Amino acid sequence: MPSNTTNDRLDDIDLLLTDANIATMDDSIAAPYGAIENAALAIKNGKIVWLGEQANLPPFDVFATPTLSIKGQWLTPGLIDCHTHLVFAGSRAEEFEQRLQGVTYEQIAAQGGGIASTVRATRAADHEQLFVAAKDRLNALLAEGVTTVEIKSGYGLDCANEIKILEVARLLAEHHPIDIKSTFLGAHALPAEFQGRSDEYIDWVCGEMLEQVVANNLADAVDVFCENVGFSYAQTKRVFQAAQKHGLAVKCHAEQLSNQHGAELVAEFNGLSADHIEYLDEAGVQAMANAGTTAVLLPGAFYFLRETQQPPIALLQQYNVPIAIASDFNPGTSPLCSLHLMMNMACTLFRLTPEQALAGVTRNAAKALGLHDRGVLKVGARADIAHWQIAHPSQLSYQFGVNKLLNLWILGKLN
């Protein structure tokens, strides 16, 4: 009989989880959800060092190894919200009331409301106020099993205030257990003081603003709202070129209200993701498939705006474009701070399966952020792990409002 070498023993591990059902979300495992039942998982130094059927567990020191029985419940990767605007001040509840009385989004914008009202409130807030408001929102996500969040700027719309938002995102990254990636979205809307001078504003975004963002290492990516109420294809292209010059990855708010071909453009730049995409056509889907650009569906905005144009889900699937799902949490079009609600809506509104919905907030959300170390439970991945009191992972999309999270580890640390 071969003797055990150090490699086939599990020594000095930080935590061993036993008696688990694991929805690995690893697409190289044929079972639905990449599931391994009656499984165990070992964590060391924040990473997964062993995972598999418990019957195959290598020998380990039962006295020295901290062990937790999962008692036949489920582990999944920590959830990833790959598209949020969660650093902002103020509320748009009054605007919500107006809209319910029939005032349109455009009329509200013409009265100085809409994005402009959030910009005023955000400019008036200091770092501390923004930090406190954002921390509450992150806590809500953490409580439902979210371990990575992307945060966009875009409610500052001048140098000092865009920087302030991104600095708050970095402060949150330092002081909150959730891992945070930040995105510079200076080209979110045209600030009032640049009315009629959108090309000049884009000059500023591509020049001084981006230079300061890069000099202070404040962003992991650059985004543009490419839309007739946002910025044109040509303006979006200029921002992407500037981002590329600085070596930053790009992504795009594309085809939300009309087809501006933003998805094709972001694919041309080998972008991370095209987000919203209700009005995406087949050429756009094809371009995304060729470039490996992820589709990010935002059912919260679709629902809140009572949109009726469906994103081209069948085409995305036909071309094997990975589909992620995110909250788009923002005060105007998706004031809905729950990724579980988004999973449910992705199923009810877009007819995704619960398995596709879970892949959308794990494996494919990691892809949308260009992260290869998470989103799937496998050896070598970050130990970002959610432990749920559920009988089957479909329950995560099916039920909303009763928190089924029992434990959450981020980089192997229990929260």
Q: For Fe ion, which residue of 328, 343, 358, 360 counts as binding (CB under 5 A)?
A: 328
Q: How far is the CB of 334 from Fe ion (least distance, A)?
A: 7
Q: Strands, E, within 24-138: which ranges? A: 35-44, 47-53, 67-69, 74-77, 79-81
Q: Are 298 and 328 in contact (CB under 8 A)?
A: yes
CA distances from 147 to 206, 235, 329, 398 (A): 31, 34, 16, 21
Neighbours of 320 (CB within 10 A): 8
Provide φ and ψ at 287, rounded to 5°. -60, -40
Query: Which residue, 118 or 293, has its beta carbon nearer to ligand DI6?
Result: 118
Does position 356 bind ligand DI6 by CB under 6 A?
no
Query: Which residue, 266 or 390, has its beta carbon nearer to Fe ion?
Result: 266
Distance CA 77, CA 253 (A): 26
Query: Which residue, 118 or 182, has its beta carbon nearer to ligand DI6?
Result: 118
Q: How far is the CB of 96 from ligand DI6 (least distance, A)?
A: 11
Does position 84 bind ligand DI6 by CB under 6 A?
no
Contacts of 84 (CB under 8 A, 6+ apart): 149, 150, 151, 152, 326, 327, 328, 329, 330
Does position 76 bind ligand DI6 by CB under 6 A?
no
Distance CA 407, CA 415 (A): 7
- Tell me how many residues contact ligand DI6 (CB under 6 A): 12
Pinpoint the alpha helices (H) of 176-281: 198-204, 210-215, 233-245, 262-268
Residue 114 interacting entry, from Fe ion, ligand DI6, none, C-beta within 5 to 8 Å by type: ligand DI6
Query: Which residue, 201 or 302, has its beta carbon nearer to Fe ion?
Result: 302
Residue 333 interacting entry, from Fe ion, ligand DI6, none, C-beta within 5 to 8 Å by type: ligand DI6
Question: Contact letters (x/-) for ligand DI6, 160-199, by CB under 6 A?
Answer: ----------------------------x-----------
Query: Which residue, 284 or 300, has its beta carbon nearer to Fe ion?
Result: 300
Q: For ligand DI6, which residue of 161, 236, 256, 394 counts as binding (CB under 6 A)?
A: 256
Bridge-based pairing of strands 249-254 and 221-226 is parallel
Binding stretches for ligand DI6 (CB under 6 A): 114-115, 118, 188, 225, 253, 256, 301, 330-333
